[in-house]
């Protein structure tokens, strides 16, 4: 009897089901209970034989493109070991190239999904807890939101036995949050601020720690928090607090004004084991007490002109633990236990700065970090002068006009000598008059700026009048050289040289500053034209930098602003004048250098072969007047007197407003 050929529509690919199950196992999905292959014989509870699995693999390869038919009928039936198929199978030809490519893409997708699944499991971002409970892990950052009527309870489980104390810290951009040991807020058991932290001294056998978080603000507050652990060998930040409310205070307290930003912190104590009394803070000053500890103060600048909350919380992660602080921040100063735990810095309105302190035990070579504090030296909630609108309109108008004049001086200052003298006189008189008004009167900034512009204009016209009447070149060039020397001296103290402790004394600073400023005109006394052209190029181009700063903040403006702050505020002498130097500053520095070099080169080439300086204006006017008086053939000799000339001009102006008289007869002729 001839063999019956199976119909194509009745062939079913059992291998497709096996392939689907393999894909589900790769994705980590729990597989459903597998149905037996159609027509397969197997005893109850018996696993499929190896031949059956081999046959299933062959079916998977051969029947990829087969169309499913009626249930219960397969293309080949398995009957166990040694069983033969009722219908003869088609010869196996292997997968087609398209099928192989499709299989490779499927495996690639599975691998990508599996890797994403592993990465997603490592990230730890938390939102609001519906149950009011947040679980923390040591060293893991948490992001969550706090609302006013819904305080949160935080908990840490499975604390290691070698951990002696924990430091919990929570950060927000500008809204205050509160962390407390208990639900009831007590002054000596809670801390409120934008950067708040608590120290948990663990008891013997303690493995769980609980604390409470909340906010008093109306708006929800986005926060980032972390918990750090330390051993008995590590010093305890704020362990010898005598100034602030907490018994052990690891926080850094920050105050700022227009001139300086001051940070304060409590002294640390030596580490100790669980259940042991802490070492006394003032029992002695030998090497076995807390007086051997040292404090390293670090400063970290956020990206310029970026006030976003995401950027702050992202960079705060680099200023939390000791290794990260040392790797990313700038070490400013090292304090000993005998020094005052207070450091001042120059305020940078609109620039985000993060400060932190690392206490180091040189005997055990261990260290611990305080809770970092940040500031923008401005207010986010103020209506006028907030962080988002620091540039005043009056400043933009003033420095824009000043930059236009400076740009002209940069390229044509030596040629237009009187205009340059007005520019130099404006700078000298305006600078000193601004200091005088600010220190003696409480008037507003806008009024002060207007008076400064008026005083500077008077000073510029006075210097031009002195040159026109007396023509003393040495006096004029002394003023020009002093302005250039002032800028060069300011650049010198803008470098790290200005942060040396010796220059914190006002006498040493101003004497050194003045000597550098006077040295410049003395050095160039033999080549006054070069000195004048250099001043035009450097000072004129720097005025453009100041104008750019009024629209787009740059650290280069603090070259002269730091000197002005020191002249206005006596407490500024103790401040460190570090500023960020980032991509924006490099671009503006390149613009400044390009303008200065271009202006100097152009003026040197144009003035080649010309007289060094113009002649005395008053002598020229006097000689011209004598020539007109003695030479009756000169047409200017017959010029009418001044009174007649003014009367003639007035008559001409009056004629412009008179109605034109008609010409000729307009009445009809009488016959």
Q: What's the token pair of residue 79?
A: 């009957």
| Closest of 210, 542, 505, 262 to residue 375, by C-alpha | 262
Task: Give yes or no for a contact between 314 and 295, defined as CB atoms under 8 angstroms apart.
Answer: no
Over residues 423-430, the mean pLDDT reads 96
pLDDT at residue 51, rounded to an integer: 39
**Model confidence over 544-563: pLDDT tens digits?**
999 998 888 889 999 999 99
- Going by C-alpha positions, the residue among 180, 179, 171, 183 that lies closest to residue 222 is 171
Q: How confident is the model at residue 526 (pLDDT cuts 50, 70, 90)?
A: confident
pLDDT at 286: 80
Taking CA atoms, 574 is separated from 108, 266, 472, in Å, by: 62, 20, 42
Q: Mean pLDDT over residues 95-108, rounded? A: 56
Q: Which residues contact 78 (CB under 8 A, 6 or more apart)?
A: 37, 39, 40, 41, 51, 52, 55, 56
CA distance 458 to 460: 5
Residue 295 CA to residue 461 CA, distance in Å, equals: 54
pLDDT at 35 over 50: no
* Cβ atoms of residues 257 and 349 within 8 Å: no
Residue 28 has pLDDT above 90, yes or no: no
Instruction: State the pLDDT confidence band at 73, using cuts at 50, 70 and 90.
Output: very low
- The SS3 call for residue 112 is helix
Candidates 138, 146, 611; CA nearest to 415 is: 611
Asked if pLDDT for residue 117 goes beyond 50, the answer is no
Helices (H), 245-317: 309-316
Beta carbons of 171 and 313 less than 8 angstroms apart = yes
pLDDT at 395 over 50: yes
**pTM attached to this predicted model:** 0.74
Q: Tell me how far apart the terminal alpha carbons of the chain are, to the nearest angstrom.
A: 151
Please write the tens of the pLDDT for every residue from 161-189: 999 999 999 999 999 999 999 888 888 88
Q: Is the predicted pLDDT of residue 211 greater than 80, yes or no?
A: yes
For the residues 38-43, what does the mean pLDDT come to?
36
**Of 339 and 36, more confident:** 339
Q: Phi and psi dihedrals of 349, rounded to 5? A: -60, 130
Q: How confident is the model at residue 400 (pLDDT cuts 50, 70, 90)?
A: very high
Q: Which residues contact 518 (CB under 8 A, 6 or more apart)?
A: 482, 485
Q: Which residue bears the tokens 């005598």?
A: 242
Q: Which two tokens stand for residue 322?
A: 């000791």
Say if strands 260-265 and 252-256 run parallel, antiparallel, or are unpaired. antiparallel
Q: For the chain, what is the mean pLDDT?
A: 80
In this structure, of 72-81, 213-222, 226-235, 277-286, the range with the lowest mean pLDDT score is 72-81
Mean pLDDT of 338-351: 92
> Which pLDDT score, from 0 to 100, does residue 184 have?
82
Mean pLDDT value across residues 241-251 = 91
């Amino acid at each position: 009897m001839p063999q019956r050929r199976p119909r194509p529509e009745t062939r079913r690919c059992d291998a497709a089901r096996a392939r689907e199950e393999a894909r589900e196992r790769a994705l980590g999905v729990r597989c459903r209970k597998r149905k037996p292959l159609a027509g397969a014989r197997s005893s109850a509870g018996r696993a499929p034989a190896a031949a059956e699995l081999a046959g299933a693999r062959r079916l998977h390869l051969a029947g990829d493109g087969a169309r499913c038919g009626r249930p219960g009928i397969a293309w080949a039936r398995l009957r166990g070991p040694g069983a033969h198929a009722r219908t003869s199978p088609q010869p196996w030809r292997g997968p087609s190239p398209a099928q192989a490519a499709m299989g490779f893409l499927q495996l690639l997708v599975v691998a990508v999904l599996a890797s994403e699944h592993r990465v997603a499991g490592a990230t730890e971002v938390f939102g609001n807890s519906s149950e009011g409970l947040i679980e923390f892990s040591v060293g893991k950052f948490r992001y969550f939101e706090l609302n006013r009527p819904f305080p949160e309870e935080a908990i840490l489980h499975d604390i290691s036995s070698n951990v002696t104390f924990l430091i919990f810290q929570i950060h927000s951009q500008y809204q205050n949050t509160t962390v407390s040991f208990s639900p009831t807020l007590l002054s000596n058991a809670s801390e409120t601020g934008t950067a708040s932290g608590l120290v948990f001294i663990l008891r013997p056998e303690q493995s769980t720690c609980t604390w409470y978080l909340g906010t008093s603000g109306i708006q929800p507050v986005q926060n980032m928090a972390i918990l750090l652990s330390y051993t008995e060998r590590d010093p305890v930040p704020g362990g010898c607090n005598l100034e602030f409310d907490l018994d052990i205070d690891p926080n850094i307290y920050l105050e700022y004004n227009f001139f300086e930003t001051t940070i304060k912190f409590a002294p640390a104590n030596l580490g100790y084991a669980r259940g042991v009394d802490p070492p006394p803070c003032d029992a002695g000053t030998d090497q076995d007490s807390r007086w051997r500890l040292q404090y390293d103060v670090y400063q970290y600048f956020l990206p310029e002109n970026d006030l976003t909350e995401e950027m702050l919380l992202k960079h705060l992660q680099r200023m939390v633990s000791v290794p990260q602080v040392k790797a990313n921040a700038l070490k400013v100063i090292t304090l000993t236990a005998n020094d005052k735990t207070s450091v001042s810095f120059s305020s940078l309105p609109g620039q985000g700065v993060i400060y932190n302190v690392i206490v180091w035990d040189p005997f055990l070579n261990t260290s611990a970090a305080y809770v970092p504090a940040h500031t923008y030296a401005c207010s986010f909630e103020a209506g006028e002068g907030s962080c988002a609108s620091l540039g005043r309109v009056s400043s933009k108008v003033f420095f824009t006009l000043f930059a236009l004049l400076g740009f002209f001086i940069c390229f044509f200052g030596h040629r237009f000598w009187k205009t340059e003298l007005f520019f130099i006189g404006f700078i000298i008189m305006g600078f000193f008059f601004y200091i005088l008004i600010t220190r003696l009167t409480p008037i507003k900034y806008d009024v002060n700026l207007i008076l400064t512009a008026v005083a500077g204009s008077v000073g510029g016209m006075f210097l031009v009048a002195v040159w026109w009447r007396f023509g003393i070149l040495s006096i004029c060039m002394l003023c020009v050289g002093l302005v250039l020397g002032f800028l060069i001296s300011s650049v010198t103290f803008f470098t790290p040289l200005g942060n040396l402790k010796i220059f914190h004394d006002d006498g040493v600073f101003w004497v050194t500053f003045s000597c550098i400023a006077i040295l410049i005109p003395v050095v160039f006394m033999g080549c006054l034209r070069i000195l004048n052209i250099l001043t035009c190029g450097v000072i004129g181009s720097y005025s453009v930098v100041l104008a750019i700063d009024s629209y787009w903040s740059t650290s280069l403006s603090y070259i002269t602003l730091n000197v002005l702050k020191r002249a206005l505020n006596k407490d500024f002498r103790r401040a460190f004048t570090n500023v960020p130097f980032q991509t924006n500053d490099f671009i503006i520095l390149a613009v400044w250098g390009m303008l200065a070099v271009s202006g100097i080169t152009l003026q040197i080439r144009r003035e080649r072969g010309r007289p060094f300086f113009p002649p005395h204006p008053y002598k020229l006017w006097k000689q011209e007047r004598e020539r007109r008086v003695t030479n009756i053939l000169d047409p200017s000799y017959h010029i009418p007197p001044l009174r007649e000339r003014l009367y003639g001009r007035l008559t001409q102006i009056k004629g412009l407003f008179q109605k034109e008289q008609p010409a000729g007869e307009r009445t009809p002729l009488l016959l």
